[in-house]
């Protein structure tokens, strides 16, 4: 092959090197890392707050459910003339059965003086009856918590403070000690009012 033919071959041969190299430079990568870091710092608290707000909403939902249920059971107790009784077994309906109420409301405790005994066994029995009434009236998938450090594995946990006469409704994944629960005090004496307290510092 002559020198001229070799030159023509060189001129006509396309360039092997591409002019459109892809990829990021070191400066571009550093800028992207800085932007992602800023976004994560700004966005992370928002997601954490959303989770806490969701837990608080669940507690508010339980408060609404207990309030509505109290109105319904009070009307049932009134129809049966038992709304003024300190402890009464009230028929709620053929498909529901009966439940123990205090002054026509969902109980948070059964007054021991009315039971005629202050023994430890009666206290346990009282807590069991309160738990049974709550779960039956509210149709809850709940577990009876034995202490304040027990973590709830079902939809709800119910911890009954018999001597203090209030009940804690604890959502799944928390314990009473976690500080994310609804505290309910029913009517334990004539003239009392139902009291709700939202404990949400640990939500």
- Per-residue pLDDT reduced to its tens digit, 59-107: 999 999 999 999 999 999 999 999 999 999 999 987 888 999 999 999 9
159 neighbors 168 (Cβ within 8 angstroms): yes
SS3 65: helix
pLDDT (0 to 100) of residue 116: 47
pLDDT (0 to 100) of residue 93: 85
pLDDT (0 to 100) of residue 144: 96
Q: Are strands 142-144 and 156-161 parallel, antiparallel or unpaired?
A: parallel
69 neighbors 138 (Cβ within 8 angstroms): yes
CA of 14: how far to CAs of 2, 17, 18, 22, 113, in Å? 20, 9, 10, 20, 102
Across residues 9-32, what is the average pLDDT? 67
- Per-residue pLDDT reduced to its tens digit, 112-153: 544 444 554 455 578 899 999 999 999 999 999 999 999 999
81 neighbors 50 (Cβ within 8 angstroms): no
Global pTM value: 0.72
pLDDT (0 to 100) of residue 19: 53
More confident residue, 46 or 87: 87
Separation between Cα atoms, residue 141 and residue 161, nearest integer Å: 20
pLDDT (0 to 100) of residue 191: 87
């Amino acid at each position: 092959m002559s020198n001229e033919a070799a030159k023509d071959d060189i001129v006509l041969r396309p360039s092997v090197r591409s002019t459109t190299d892809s990829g990021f430079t070191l400066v571009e990568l550093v800028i992207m890392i800085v932007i992602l870091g800023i976004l994560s710092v700004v966005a992370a608290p928002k997601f954490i707050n959303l989770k806490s707000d969701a837990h608080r909403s669940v507690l508010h939902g339980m408060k609404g459910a207990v309030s509505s249920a109290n109105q319904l059971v009070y009307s049932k107790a009134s129809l049966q003339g038992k709304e003024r009784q300190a402890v009464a077994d009230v028929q709620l309906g053929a498909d529901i059965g009966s439940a123990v109420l205090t002054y026509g409301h969902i109980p948070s405790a059964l007054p021991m003086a009315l039971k005629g005994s202050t023994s430890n066994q009666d206290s346990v029995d009282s807590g069991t009856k309160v738990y049974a009434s709550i779960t039956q009236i509210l149709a809850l998938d709940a577990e009876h918590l034995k202490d304040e450090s027990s973590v709830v594995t079902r939809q709800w946990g119910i911890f009954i403070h018999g001597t203090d006469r209030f009940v804690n409704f604890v959502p799944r994944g928390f314990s009473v000690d976690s500080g994310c629960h609804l505290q309910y005090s029913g009517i334990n004496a004539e003239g009392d009012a139902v009291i709700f307290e939202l404990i949400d510092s640990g939500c």
